A and B are shown apart, each in its own frame.
Chain A
Amino acid sequence: MLSEIFVEPFADMVAAPDFLMQVLWEGLVSGILYALIALGFVLIYRSSRIFNFAQGIMVVFAALTLVGLHEAGVPAWVSVVLTLGVMFVLAVVVERVVLRPLVGQPDIILFMATIGITLFLIGFGEIIFGGENKVMITQELGIPTDSVVFEPFGGLLILEQKDITAAGIAALLVIGLLLFLNKTRMGRAIRALGDDHQAAMSVGISLQTIWVLVWFIAGIIALVTGIAWGARAGVSFALEVIAYKALPVLMLGGLESISGAIVGGLMIGMLEKLFEIYWGQPLLGGNTETWFAFMLALVVLLFRPQGLFGERIIERV
């Protein structure tokens, strides 16, 4: 038994390094998507202390809008632009209708409000786009669907081009976002607002403008995530559950840290895949991916309650 847990999996890894690489790559691709969703959470949390439960449904909503528009006869790239417009309108509406009247309320109230947004978007999305599954317009967007085959160590490694594209776009998005937050005055304003609303307003930062901006950026991230994930698994409301995978990522990475979200997302993506293939399937009957991330987060929380990268909060009592 002990050898099945502690020896054989590693022996397998060494025996078939090409397969190990394949597993890691698959995990990495899921991890990128977890990280992207977590990034949306972090961005909104940092600028407003709101835990945005609606981030997951925003992914679905963005993907549905894109596919829905294309089905209605709009060219693919025009649909992308229009979808961005829809996400912007959504940001404005959320700020006007939900956030502005609730300014200054306790965090939990705002959190509840985002659950309201989630439920609204589910209902609204179903009315407009219907409840059935759709296929992401991968080819129409010009995303290549072939595979690239490598032969490391005399084995076989197959990378799908759409996954490579997704990884590339995600990386660009992250780099852009980091530059934006750290190098521009708008970024400085966003960070300032997250630290202290009153002080931020007193130096001339407009709460309203920044909130719209941040929710719009979260919408852009949602669209990118929706396209990438939709290309792998189709577009349906079931996509929303991947948003819950962002929760353990956030527990690992901390709610405040962008690099935490990225590293946490990639780690969870790869670790859950490794665990599933080398331990879960042979020993536990498989399907461990549904719970592994949460277990891992729980263990981390036991030892580092602020997450692996979160800012340590020292409170004087």
Chain B
Amino acid sequence: MNVHLQEDLSKHTLRADDGIAKGADLLKVENISLSFGGVKAITDISFDIKKGEIRAIIGPNGAGKTSMLNVINGFYFPQQGTITFRGEKRRRARASETARDGIARTFQNIALFKGMSTLDNIMTGRITLQKRSLLWHALWKGPAEREEIEHREAVERIIDFLEIEHIRKTPVGRLPYGLQKRVELGRALAADPALLLLDEPMAGMNLEEKADMSRFILDVNQQYGTTIALIEHDMGVVMDLSDRVVVLDYGKKIGDGTPDEVRNNPDVIDAYLGVPH
């Protein structure tokens, strides 16, 4: 598979290769606070995601992890704080806009287009990359068709990579859970993202499926050079995969560092094991 992927890399580097050096800040969130009415979901959180790394966001249930992802990809607008993506501060960017800027994501409770086939689902991931407009499609089929074929090839490579050739034409609503998660990852990958957000990519999977998914995530990171932020509850997975980990609890940041640092952080241990008050 890797030969193809590398070809793909050299062909579609528009987003991964954006002039930001490996290890420099790709995304920076500063002093983010988010509340719903009187409920504070996130309080004054700052951290960064460096280009090329796998960054894990962990924390007990209700810690604000998913809210944080929703802030990053524009589903929620924080009341306070700034987000800097690729060196540009952004104000109230909507999800459809951040997608165009190169942020792709998956969801905790799979959000696929259930009536469509695997192929069509992954094709939707390329919507932001398709340049020819609707009018082109209507007026002059040639160029639009050529473009469609190009995108189709890219999607086929992703399908090969994720080993889901056999379900290419199956409506995703009929697929088992583990495969749906894989299709969802495929759709996010199809956007050729600069930053990939994964919300519990392994929730509800058995050991074998988790191993597969871990392998895919590592491969994506290494082959595509894609920066990944992931939320995950399986600590074994988190510690193995991630370069750095940020820990949230009750909407606040309580730890940030390499897996080893975080593992030995007393606040983190308290949050996970509980402390007598």
Question: Residues of A at under 8 Å CB distance from B?
Answer: 180, 183-186, 188-189, 191-192, 195-196, 198-207, 311
> Which of B104, B120, B130, B134 makes the CB contact (< 8 A) with A202?
B104
List chain B residues, Cβ under 8 A from A189.
124, 127
Say whether B96 contacts A196, CB under 8 Å: no
> Which of B75, B100, B105, B111 makes the CB contact (< 8 A) with A196?
B111
List chain A residues, Cβ under 8 A from B107.
198-199, 202
Jot down 14 A-B pairs with beta carbons below 8 A, ordered by A. A185-B130, A185-B134, A188-B127, A195-B114, A195-B116, A196-B113, A201-B95, A202-B73, A202-B105, A202-B188, A203-B104, A204-B127, A205-B124, A206-B94
Please, how many angstroms separate the alpha-carbon atoms of A201 and B111 in the complex? 11
Say whether B114 contacts A188, CB under 8 Å: no
Please, how many angstroms separate the alpha-carbon atoms of A198 and B112 in the complex? 9
Please, how many angstroms separate the alpha-carbon atoms of A185 and B137 in the complex? 9
Please, how many angstroms separate the alpha-carbon atoms of A311 and B173 in the complex? 12
> Which of A184, A185, A207 makes the CB contact (< 8 A) with B96?
A207
Please, how many angstroms separate the alpha-carbon atoms of A195 and B112 in the complex? 8
Chain A residue at minimal CB-CB distance from B105 = A202
Interface size on B, residues (CB 8 A): 30
Say whether B99 contacts A204, CB under 8 Å: yes
Given contacts A189-B127, A202-B95, A206-B96, contact A195 B104 (CB under 8 A): no
Residue from B97, B111, B116, B191 whose CB has the most chain A CB atoms within 10 Å: B111
Query: B213: CB under 8 A from chain A?
Result: no
With both chains docked as a complex, state the minimum distance between the C-beta of B185 and any C-beta of chain A, in angstroms.
13
Given contacts A201-B75, A203-B127, contact A186 B115 (CB under 8 A): no
Say whether B138 contacts A188, CB under 8 Å: no
List chain B residues, Cβ under 8 A from A196.
111-114
Q: Which 9 A-B pairs give the minimum distances between C-beta atoms?
A: A204-B99, A199-B111, A204-B128, A195-B113, A201-B95, A206-B96, A184-B137, A186-B134, A196-B111
Query: B251: CB under 8 A from chain A?
Result: no
Given contacts A206-B96, A207-B96, contact A198 B137 (CB under 8 A): no
> Which of B96, B123, B138, B187 makes the CB contact (< 8 A) with A201?
B96
Extra contacts besides A184-B134, A204-B128 (10): CB < 8 Å: A185-B134, A188-B120, A196-B111, A196-B114, A198-B107, A203-B104, A203-B124, A204-B99, A204-B127, A205-B96
Please, how many angstroms separate the alpha-carbon atoms of A189 and B125 in the complex? 10
List chain A residues, Cβ under 8 A from B96.
201, 204-207
> Which of B113, B115, B120 makes the CB contact (< 8 A) with A311?
B115
Please, how many angstroms separate the alpha-carbon atoms of A188 and B107 in the complex? 20
Chain A residue at minimal CB-CB distance from B128 = A204
Say whether A203 contacts B128, CB under 8 Å: yes
Please, how many angstroms separate the alpha-carbon atoms of A251 and B137 in the complex? 33
With both chains docked as a complex, state the minimum distance between the C-beta of A220 and any C-beta of chain B, in angstroms.
14
Given contacts A199-B107, A199-B111, A199-B113, contact A205 B127 (CB under 8 A): yes
With both chains docked as a complex, state the minimum distance between the C-beta of B133 and any C-beta of chain A, in angstroms.
8
List chain B residues, Cβ under 8 A from A203.
99, 104, 124-125, 127-128, 187, 191
With both chains docked as a complex, state the minimum distance between the C-beta of B127 and any C-beta of chain A, in angstroms.
5
Please, how many angstroms separate the alpha-carbon atoms of A192 and B96 in the complex? 13
Please, how many angstroms separate the alpha-carbon atoms of A206 and B100 in the complex? 10
List chain B residues, Cβ under 8 A from A186.
134, 137
Residue from B96, B104, B125 whose CB has the most chain A CB atoms within 10 Å: B96
Please, how many angstroms separate the alpha-carbon atoms of A81 and B160 in the complex? 49
Say whether B99 contacts A201, CB under 8 Å: yes
Please, how many angstroms separate the alpha-carbon atoms of A199 and B111 in the complex? 5
With both chains docked as a complex, state the minimum distance between the C-beta of B201 and any C-beta of chain A, in angstroms.
14
List chain A residues, Cβ under 8 A from B124.
188-189, 192, 200, 203, 205
Chain A residue at minimal CB-CB distance from B70 = A198
List chain A residues, Cβ under 8 A from B137.
183-186
List chain A residues, Cβ under 8 A from B130.
185
Please, how many angstroms separate the alpha-carbon atoms of A311 and B123 in the complex? 22
Within 8 A of A (CB), among B119-147: 120, 123-125, 127-128, 130, 134, 137-138
List chain A residues, Cβ under 8 A from B115.
191, 195, 311
With both chains docked as a complex, state the minimum distance between the C-beta of A265 and any C-beta of chain B, in angstroms.
22
List chain A residues, Cβ under 8 A from B73.
202
With both chains docked as a complex, state the minimum distance between the C-beta of B81 and any C-beta of chain A, in angstroms.
21
List chain B residues, Cβ under 8 A from A192.
113, 116, 124
With both chains docked as a complex, state the minimum distance between the C-beta of A15 and any C-beta of chain B, in angstroms.
48
Chain A residue at minimal CB-CB distance from B74 = A201
